[in-house]
Amino acid sequence: MDYAKMAVDMVLKSWNIHVSRATKFFDSKTDEELLKEVAPGKNSLFYLLGHFIAVNDSMIAIFGLGERQYAHLDEAFVNNPDKSGLPMPDAATLRNDWKKSNEILAAYFTKMSPQEWHSRHNSMTDEDYAKEPSRNKLSALLNRTNHISYHLGQMVLVN
Amino acid sequence: MDYAKMAVDMVLKSWNIHVSRATKFFDSKTDEELLKEVAPGKNSLFYLLGHFIAVNDSMIAIFGLGERQYAHLDEAFVNNPDKSGLPMPDAATLRNDWKKSNEILAAYFTKMSPQEWHSRHNSMTDEDYAKEPSRNKLSALLNRTNHISYHLGQMVLVN
C-alpha cells in the first residue's frame, strides 16, 4: 500500500468535491442573488465567493508554489468583513476569478508529489513540523476543504 | 516517515477539533436556546445535536466495531427532517448522549491501527475498495468531519 499517495488521493478528492459543490452553487445564482446574505446582516454570497478565492489562493504562497494571482482580494474579502465599503470587483470578474483560480490551483496540485504534500508549509517552523509532521501541506488543504464545507452549509440556507 | 499513521493523525486531529467545537457550542446554549432554528423553518440546534449523535454513531456499524448505542435516534434525527412530530428525548438526555457517544467513539478509535483505518468499511464492496483504496474508514471519518463543519457553519448564525 502506498499510504502517502492514498492520503493525498483522499484529501484531494474531498477538496475537488467541495470546489465542485461551491461552483455549482454559485453558477445557479444570478448576479442579483449573489447579493443575498446567508442570514440577516451576515455575509453575502458575493463576499463568500471572493473570500473563497482569496483564502484558497493563499495556499500558493503558503506552499511556496509560485506567485499568488488573487492577493488583491485579501483586503476586501479576508482582512475585512462584508460591507466594509472597500472596492470589490464586479460579479462577472469574480465568477471568472473563481474558475481561473481553481484551474491554477489544480495545475499546481497535479504536479506535487505525495512527498511534497507531506512536507512542511511556510506558515510552520521546522520545530512545529518536527513535533507534528501530520501538520503539513496536505493537512492545510484538508483545513481549506473544511472551510468550504463550513460556508457551504451557510450558503444553502439562502435557497 | 510512517505515512499511514500520519494520515490517521491528521484526520483524527481534525475530527477531534470539530467535535470539541460542537461541544463548546452546545454547552454554551440553554435548553430553550437549543430550540432556535439556524434559519426560519430550518433545522433547530436541538435537531442538529441529535443528528450528529446518530450520524456519528453509525460509524460503529459501518466500521464493524460493535453494537450501535444510538440507532434509536435515526428515525427522528436522520431518516426524517426536523418537526416530524416523532418522539425525541429531552435536552438533558440528548446532551448526555452527545458526550457519551463521543467517549464511545474515542475509545473505539484509539484501538484502531493505521492499517485498520485504511481498510474497507461495510458500506463498500470489495470491488469499490480495489478500485479506490483511498475510500476507506479514514475517508469516512473525514467525511463525517466535513459534515460537522457544514452544520457548524449554520449553527453559528444563531448567535
Burial of A52 (0-12, 13-18, 19+ CB in 10 A): buried
At residue A41, the pLDDT reads 96
Is the Cβ of B159 closer than 8 Å to some Cβ of chain A? no
HEC sequence for chain A: CCHHHHHHHHHHHHHHHHHHHHHHHHHCCCCCHHHCECCCCCCEHHHHHHHHHHHHHHHHHHCCCCCCCCHHHHHHHCCCCCCCCCCCCCHHHHHHHHHHHHHHHHHHHHHCCHHHHCCCCCCCCHHHHHHCCCCCHHHHHHHHHHHHHHHHHHHHHHC
| pLDDT above 80 (res B29) | yes
- Among A24, A29, A22, smallest CA distance to A53 is for A22
Per-residue pLDDT of B44-102, as tens digits, reads 999 999 999 999 999 999 999 999 999 999 999 999 999 999 999 999 999 999 999 99
The whole domain housing A72 covers 3-155
Burial of A51 (0-12, 13-18, 19+ CB in 10 A): buried
At residue B20, the pLDDT reads 98
- Among A2, A4, A16, A1, smallest CA distance to A114 is for A4
Per-residue pLDDT of A4-17, as tens digits, reads 999 999 999 999 99
Per-residue pLDDT of B110-147, as tens digits, reads 999 999 999 999 999 999 999 999 999 999 999 999 99
**Cell output for B57:** 454513531
- Among A135, A154, A111, A141, smallest CA distance to A11 is for A141
- Report how far Cα B43 is from the mean position of its chain's Cα atoms: 16
Disruptive mutation site among B117, B134, B141, B156 for chain A (greatest number of A CBs within 10 Å):
B134
Closest CB from B132, B133, B149 relative to A1: B133
At residue A1, the pLDDT reads 84
Distances (CA, A) of B101 to A11, A74, B122, B124: 26, 40, 20, 24
Is the Cβ of B95 closer than 8 Å to some Cβ of chain A? no
Q: Which residues contact A85 (CB under 8 A, 6 or more apart)?
A: none
Q: How confident is the model at residue B1 (pLDDT cuts 50, 70, 90)?
A: confident
Per-residue pLDDT of B31-44, as tens digits, reads 999 999 999 999 99
Is the Cβ of B130 closer than 8 Å to some Cβ of chain A? no
Q: How many CA atoms lie within 13 A of A129 on its CB side?
A: 16
- Residue A138 contacts residue A117 (beta carbons within 8 Å): yes
Distances (CA, A) of B67 to B35, B46, B57, B119: 30, 25, 10, 19
- If chain A, 159 residues long, is cut into consecutive pieces of 10 residues, what is the mean pLDDT of each piece? 96 98 98 98 98 98 98 98 97 98 98 97 94 95 98 95
Is the Cβ of B133 closer than 8 Å to some Cβ of chain A? yes
Structural domain count of chain B = 1
Closest CB from A134, A150, A157 relative to B9: A134
What's the CATH number where A31 sits? 1.20.120.450
Q: How confident is the model at residue B159 (pLDDT cuts 50, 70, 90)?
A: confident
At residue A159, the pLDDT reads 76
**A44: β partners:** A37
**A37: β partners:** A44
Distances (CA, A) of A21 to A92, A98, A107, A156, B87: 19, 13, 19, 11, 34
Q: Which residues contact B87 (CB under 8 A, 6 or more apart)?
A: B76
Closest CB from B10, B42, B114 relative to A138: B10
Distances (CA, A) of B54 to A123, A138, A156, B156: 37, 29, 22, 21
